[in-house]
């Protein structure tokens, strides 16, 4: 017998918890958060590799409605962000709403009842009026298909599932990948290991990270004057938004950033051959530009080797590069990123008329404003397709999406409708507008990045300013949506059964 709740949120990362807090602030308490893991925190729980930290300043990488006067650094380390999320959960009384070990395997729309029916591993089925996915984009580790990987007799793990039980001290280690995760892992373990091979397939554009400790006097000021904290946050927001102009409005600003990155590399790496191997050949910003002040020093340490000849295969002893040289190692860390096209694909989501979301997405993942998919009423995706950013904090995007969901709920309640569904033509138009806006941008300038799917279509980036996104998601444009009159029908018996 299914339990019945009004709203189900899937996932307890930044998106799911933010949604829950705002629901409570609006006086809506009939919701649960289903989390498949044993603790909350999403990507900031999973990514606990040494050196993991945020590359967006702390003031902006937090909720606007729950600002934190106690950040210890300008760029917060993972543990502090995870603690912040746990603190938010406590402060806003989310504990009773959280259910752990509850993996949603399928969601099916029941047209007659106007409700979603969820199958949940480790729990009874659940019936809900509104379903919000807060599972985000970077949660399925990408394990590369490299010949012989299974035959390696040492230890292999992905950066997002770090083996804390394993002491790397004195080991020979290989790190595969030099993206945002790789450039943080390498300096953090370089001094501890006996030898480190860094396998770089494509170099990244890197700028120094202007990190520093936040001083006691600043903490005191923020504690006494919350307006000062808001001001600090606004300053970061507008400076990143200004930086974003180079991505979104005037491509002419990109070479300026590229020059800065090139000069930084020249200053930090004297060896001409190494410098050449660390120099990207694609435009700045095409792949995510990275902030790191310790990656270049780390790859120049005597016990560290940058391998750029490409991975040929794995052997039981180690890795053979494409020129045939075998490098024996004890442990391989795969800092090889995430499968962004996975999004909600591991769930069977069945909408109106038995339409399956995965089939709808077979020719390309897309959603209206990254949030709604036509034919899937009362389903809202947080951090859905094309809502990632190259220049600013995704927490801002999440908050915009949460406001959108809240206004959809107000609309449903206000007009007495049981379902809201985006019209196919509105979705087509907004998806096309995003793809049109991407034409000619740096993200489409020819490099291979995780922003693109296998066909080369960009499924990750919002190509305009975050202000524009905020304006588009502030409230629902009525003509873009179909509203079904009536109330959703939680079976009275089911509800009583659930209470009992």
Interface residues with ligand N01 (CB under 6 A)?
A: 53-55, 138, 144, 146, 176-182, 199, 201-202, 288, 311, 335-338, 448, 450
Q: Which of 390, 26, 6 is nearest to 204 (CA)?
A: 390
Q: Residue 440 corresponds to which tokens in the numbers above?
A: 């000619």
* Identity of the residue, 32 or 190, whose beta carbon is nearer to ligand N01 in the bound complex: 190
Minimum CB distance to ligand N01, residue 144 (Å): 3
Helix residue spans in 333-389 (DSSP H): 357-360
Please tell me the distance from the alpha carbon of residue 475 to that of residue 111, in angstroms, as a whole number: 25
Residue 462: what are its φ and ψ, rounded to 5°? -85, 115
Minimum CB distance to ligand N01, residue 448 (Å): 6
DSSP 53: B
Q: Which of 282, 1, 298, 271 is nearest to 123 (CA)?
A: 1
Q: Residue 54 corresponds to which tokens in the numbers above?
A: 């945020």
- In sequence order, the 6+-apart residues with CB closer than 8 A to the CB of 128 are 4, 5, 6, 7, 8, 115, 116, 118
* Identity of the residue, 67 or 308, whose beta carbon is nearer to ligand N01 in the bound complex: 308
Minimum CB distance to ligand N01, residue 43 (Å): 8
* Identity of the residue, 144 or 354, whose beta carbon is nearer to ligand N01 in the bound complex: 144
Q: Which of 443, 469, 470 is nearest to 457 (CA)?
A: 443
Whole-angstrom CA distances from 128 to 232, 263, 356, 419, 492 are: 40, 55, 18, 12, 13
Minimum CB distance to ligand N01, residue 1 (Å): 41
* Identity of the residue, 434 or 461, whose beta carbon is nearer to ligand N01 in the bound complex: 461
* Identity of the residue, 211 or 258, whose beta carbon is nearer to ligand N01 in the bound complex: 211
Minimum CB distance to ligand N01, residue 459 (Å): 14
Minimum CB distance to ligand N01, residue 279 (Å): 14
* Identity of the residue, 185 or 350, whose beta carbon is nearer to ligand N01 in the bound complex: 185
Per the CB < 8 A criterion, the answer to whether 149 and 329 are in contact is no
Minimum CB distance to ligand N01, residue 230 (Å): 22
* Identity of the residue, 116 or 282, whose beta carbon is nearer to ligand N01 in the bound complex: 282
Minimum CB distance to ligand N01, residue 440 (Å): 22
Q: Which of 168, 162, 169, 174 is nearest to 198 (CA)?
A: 174
Please tell me the distance from the alpha carbon of residue 330 to that of residue 324, in angstroms, as a whole number: 19
Per the CB < 8 A criterion, the answer to whether 16 and 89 are in contact is no
Closest residue to ligand N01 in the complex (CB): 179
Minimum CB distance to ligand N01, residue 384 (Å): 15
Q: From the CB of residue 283, how many other CB atoms can be counted at a distance below 10 Å?
A: 19
* Identity of the residue, 179 or 285, whose beta carbon is nearer to ligand N01 in the bound complex: 179
Residue 127's DSSP bridge partners are 4, 117
* Identity of the residue, 49 or 109, whose beta carbon is nearer to ligand N01 in the bound complex: 49
Whole-angstrom CA distances from 303 to 168, 185, 265, 460 are: 14, 15, 20, 37
């Amino acid at each position: 017998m299914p339990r019945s709740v009004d709203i189900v949120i899937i996932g307890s990362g930044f998106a799911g918890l933010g949604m829950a807090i705002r629901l409570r602030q609006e006086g809506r308490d009939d919701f649960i958060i289903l989390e498949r893991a044993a603790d909350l925190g999403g990507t900031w729980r999973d990514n606990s590799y040494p050196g993991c930290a945020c590359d967006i300043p702390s003031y902006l990488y937090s909720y606007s409605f729950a600002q934190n006067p106690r950040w210890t650094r300008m760029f917060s380390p993972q543990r502090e962000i995870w603690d912040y999320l746990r603190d938010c959960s406590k402060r806003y009384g989310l504990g009773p709403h959280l259910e752990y070990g509850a993996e949603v395997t399928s969601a099916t729309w029941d047209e007659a009842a106007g409700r979603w029916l969820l199958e949940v591993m480790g729990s009874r089925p659940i019936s809900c009026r509104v379903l919000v996915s807060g599972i985000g984009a970077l949660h399925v580790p990408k394990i590369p298909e490299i010949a012989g990987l299974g035959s390696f007799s040492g230890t292999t793990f992905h950066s997002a599932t770090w083996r804390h039980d394993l002491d790397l001290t004195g080991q020979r280690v290989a790190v595969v990948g030099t993206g945002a995760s790789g450039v943080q892992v390498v300096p953090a373990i370089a001094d501890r290991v006996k030898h480190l091979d860094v396998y770089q397939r494509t170099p990244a554009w890197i700028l120094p990270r202007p990190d520093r400790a936040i001083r006691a006097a600043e903490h005191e000021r923020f504690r006494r004057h919350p307006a000062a904290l808001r001001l600090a946050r606004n300053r970061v927001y507008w400076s990143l938004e200004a930086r974003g102009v180079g991505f979104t409005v005037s491509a002419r600003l990109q070479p300026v950033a590229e020059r800065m990155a090139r000069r930084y590399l020249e200053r930090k790496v004297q060896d001409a051959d190494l410098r050449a191997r660390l120099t990207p050949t694609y435009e700045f910003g095409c792949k995510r530009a990275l902030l790191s002040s310790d990656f270049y020093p780390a790859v120049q340490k005597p016990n560290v080797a940058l391998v750029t000849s490409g991975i040929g295969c794995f052997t039981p002893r180690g890795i053979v590069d494409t020129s045939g040289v075998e490098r024996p190692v004890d442990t391989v860390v795969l800092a090889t990123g995430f499968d962004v096209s996975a999004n909600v694909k591991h769930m069977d989501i069945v909408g109106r008329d038995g339409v399956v979301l995965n089939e709808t997405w077979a020719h390309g993942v897309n959603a209206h404003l990254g949030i709604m998919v036509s034919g899937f009423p009362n389903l809202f995706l947080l951090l859905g397709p094309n809502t990632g950013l190259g220049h600013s904090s995704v927490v801002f995007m999440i908050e915009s999406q949460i406001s959108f969901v809240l206004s959809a709920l107000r609309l449903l309640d206000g007009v007495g409708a049981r379902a809201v569904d985006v019209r196919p033509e509105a979705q087509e138009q907004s998806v096309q507008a995003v793809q049109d806006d991407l034409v000619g941008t740096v993200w489409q300038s020819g490099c291979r990045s995780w922003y693109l799917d296998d066909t080369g279509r960009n499924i990750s980036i919002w190509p305009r300013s975050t202000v524009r996104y905020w304006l588009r998601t502030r409230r629902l444009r009525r003509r873009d949506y179909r509203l079904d009159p009536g109330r959703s029908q939680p079976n009275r018996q089911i509800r009583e059964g659930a209470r009992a």
